[in-house]
Structure 1
Amino acid sequence: MLPTISHPKVFKRKKIPCVFTDYYFQSRYNPYLSEAQKQFCQSILDFKDGKHDGIRFLVAGIERLKPQPGTIVMFMPCSTQRKYWRRFKTMVDYVHDEYPELVCGISYVRYTGDRESLHLQKDRGNATLEKNYFFKEDLAGKEVLVVDDILTTGNSLQDFRKEVEADGGKVVGAIFAAETFKMPNAFWCYLEALGWSEDDAGKYESKPEDTVVDYPYQRRKWGVYDEEPEDIDWMPDRTIIHGNSMINLWYGKRKGKNVVVKKEILPLDPESDEPCSDNLSEFDLRI
């Protein structure tokens, strides 16, 4: 079974305190999910379609982030105004009734038209969304708490933060219903394997379903170095297992293109005398 969490934990994304309720798993993970995880993922889809109110994750997020009185609760703009109101309409009344010290900012957003949904775009991690809204209220000197459905790349949050800051406001937190689950990369799997011993056998007994599982990998933006990485920046952009070797690659920008700027070759078996091989084809090294 893939990991789940029982209580939202605060973390920072580009210095913005964020919180999400649980992981959203893409359909390819369905064979490995518990029934509870499947139900949660369906509730996220229902929330996006306006069939679920999302009050649970809103309340959990507010209780964890503890916004100051006067903070404006703003909702992430959708591709159309109709989706925007359908998705967040129940939260509006709840904020008014249960958190009178906060300001509900759903009406602060004025739509100028429709745009294509992010999930329909290819290479969504690098997609640039056309702005289809503006703020009709002055945000100068005001703190903003953002509410959204799913955290995947974080690009939408950063774009919204820039718009808020351009209007004089400050994003002090973000609440998400879920974060898209990402598998740990091969590098961390290799480190875990190296650290395994018979003495560790008793440490990995099955845990209750509500146990918090923290995977030891860093959240970071890949492949955006402007120069060769320093030695201290040891986290590779890509790890390839090839023959008896583990090859770590770092990418950087050269004349506008992503190229390999550093390569490290390590033996899979440190005690082996067999030489490492790095005769990878151009296809293997292509980003």
Structure 2
Amino acid sequence: MMKFALYEYIPQRFLSRATFEQQDVSRMIIGFKDGRNVYSRWAAREFARALAAVDLKDVVVVCIPASTRAAHVRRWKRFSSELCRLTGATDGFDRIQVSGSRKRAHVTGDYELATNIKHYVHIDNDYFRGKSVLVIDDIYTTGQSSATFISAMQAAGADVLMALFLGRTKLFRKADKY
């Protein structure tokens, strides 16, 4: 299965080492993660542009759950609806329910999703059985959260075709310069 990121994401602690363009994209990704309308529309357009050559009429778009129900709704509901409107895909947002919460992995370094996805996410197995699915997430860092969620979707009977990410985290070493 293919995994692809549209942009390079620079964590805030490294933004001073990034180019202007990288800083701009990283700030837009953070705005998207915060659920701001303008960035939700921007992200949906960017994904739609990347997927323009793909026929998505029989594909369900599913977003990897955020750390809490509120964050999940704020970040993904509007985005998912807009992306599906632009691409003709089916919106799977309402078929993934988040209850409870988990630690934010990018803050704590604890990728808890791998161990407790069944405790805070409900996947509508009956709906996804036999469906072609496109998985979307905001930032790819280690790939652990996406691998766990994709496995859960496959266990529910979904045929996960691809995973797309808005950004892939770029980590800097001391020798890296821009």
Structure-1-length-normalised TM-score = 0.53
Partner of 2:97: 110
Q: Could you give the per-residue CA deviations for residues 176-199 of structure 1, whole angstroms, max 9, x where no partner exists?
A: 110001458x9xxxxxxxxxxxxx
State the secondary structure of the residue aligned to 1:19.
strand
Higher RCO, 1 vs 2 (CA within 8 Å, ≥6 residues apart): 2
Partner of 1:33: 18
Q: Conserved in 1, the CA contact under 8 Å of 2:56 and 2:87?
A: no
Partner of 2:107: 120
Partner of 2:8: 23
**What is the CA distance between 1:94 and its match in structure 2?**
1.6
- Over 3 Å counting, the alpha-carbon distance change for 1:95 and 1:19 in structure 2 is same
**What is the CA distance between 1:96 and its match in structure 2?**
4.2
Partner Cα distance (1:164, 1:84) in 2? 17
Partner of 1:164: 153
Partner Cα distance (1:97, 1:128) in 2? 31
- Over 3 Å counting, the alpha-carbon distance change for 1:140 and 1:179 in structure 2 is same
Q: Could you give the per-residue CA deviations for residues 151-209 of structure 1, whole angstroms, max 9, x where no partner exists?
A: 1111111111111111111110111110001458x9xxxxxxxxxxxxxxxxxxxxxxx
Q: Conserved in 2, the CA contact under 8 Å of 1:151 and 1:180?
A: yes
Partner residue of 2:29 out of 44, 53, 58: 44
- Over 3 Å counting, the alpha-carbon distance change for 1:123 and 1:168 in structure 2 is closer
- Over 3 Å counting, the alpha-carbon distance change for 1:31 and 1:91 in structure 2 is closer
Partner of 2:82: 94
- Over 3 Å counting, the alpha-carbon distance change for 1:96 and 1:177 in structure 2 is closer
Q: Give me the identity figure in percent.
A: 25
Q: Give, as a single letter, the amino acid of the residue that structure 2 aligns with 1:180.
A: T
Partner Cα distance (1:180, 1:75) in 2? 18
**What is the CA distance between 1:143 and its match in structure 2?**
1.0
Partner Cα distance (1:43, 1:151) in 2? 15
Partner Cα distance (2:62, 2:109) in 1? 27
- Paired residues in the alignment total 168
- Give runs of ≥4 in structure 1 deviating > 4 Å: none
- Over 3 Å counting, the alpha-carbon distance change for 1:27 and 1:120 in structure 2 is closer
* CA root-mean-square deviation: 2.4
Q: Conserved in 1, the CA contact under 8 Å of 2:8 and 2:170?
A: yes
Deviates more, 1:37-46 or 1:136-145: 136-145
Bigger helix fraction: 2
**What is the CA distance between 1:77 and its match in structure 2?**
0.6
Q: Could you give the per-residue CA deviations for residues 31-61 of structure 1, whole angstroms, max 9, x where no partner exists?
A: 3322221111111111100022122332133
Q: Give, as a single letter, the amino acid of the residue that structure 2 aligns with 1:37.
A: Q
Q: Give, as a single letter, the amino acid of the residue that structure 2 aligns with 1:166.
A: A
Structure-2-length-normalised TM-score = 0.82
